[in-house]
A = this chain, B = another copy of it.
Amino acid sequence: MAVPAPSRTSLDAIVRSGRAVLDDEGIDALTMQRVAAAVGVRAPSLYKHVRDRDALIRLIAADVVRDLGALLHAAAATGDPRTDLVAIAHEFRAWARAHPGGYALLFSRVPDAWITPGPDADAIEPLLRTAAALAGPDHALEAARTVVAWASGFIGMELAGAFRMGGDVDAAFGWGIEHLAAAIAAPAR
């Protein structure tokens, strides 16, 4: 009876529901109507909480980066850079396979949260630290970019079904990260 119309939903609920729809049904199913229905409201009401569909996707992406960052921090635990690098890569792949919808957002829209530090954010800090330990401070950025590029390319191809020439995909991932770890720790020749 106090305020005229208390919110029947919230930005938090919208982002959470949107992320669930994305991971369960894919990006094409992430419509304003679908999200609105998931939070018990009509599509136009979402615009009271979010600028437009693109802004909603960015909010979901930031949420995804936050979770992934916490995971990668936890994965780099031993202090041995080579062990940590391999662990980060495997953890990243396992997470991507479990959340393909959210994963696709990481490299299509490139959320600002990738870089902007935050509470437990700065998702790639463990990777930069590990890469610096292996390649030396002068080549930390190149080394980290090489690993991220390889991992994102591998996982992207895997999720797109691009590995159709047979062979053991798990083994190929292991082969790749082992050789990469060795490569960035050594001069080019």
Residues of chain A at the chain B interface (Cβ within 8 Å): 107-110, 114-115, 139, 141-142, 145-146, 148-154, 156-157, 160-167, 171-172, 175-176, 178-184, 186, 188-189
Contact = CB atoms under 8 A, between A and B. Distances in A.
B176 A182 contact: no
A153 B141 CA distance: 16
Task: Find the residue from A145, A180, A182 having the highest chain B CB count within 10 A.
Answer: A145
Contacts of A142: 167, 171-172, 175-176
Contacts of A163: 145
A187 to B, nearest CB: 8
- Number of this chain's copies in the assembly equals 2
A172 B147 CA distance: 11
- A contact face: mostly helix, strand, loop, or mixed: helix
15 contacts: A107-B157, A108-B160, A109-B160, A110-B160, A110-B161, A142-B171, A146-B172, A146-B179, A148-B153, A149-B176, A151-B153, A152-B153, A152-B156, A179-B183, A180-B183
Contacts of A161: 110
B157 A148 contact: yes
A166 B150 CA distance: 19
A73 to B, nearest CB: 18
A8 B56 CA distance: 43
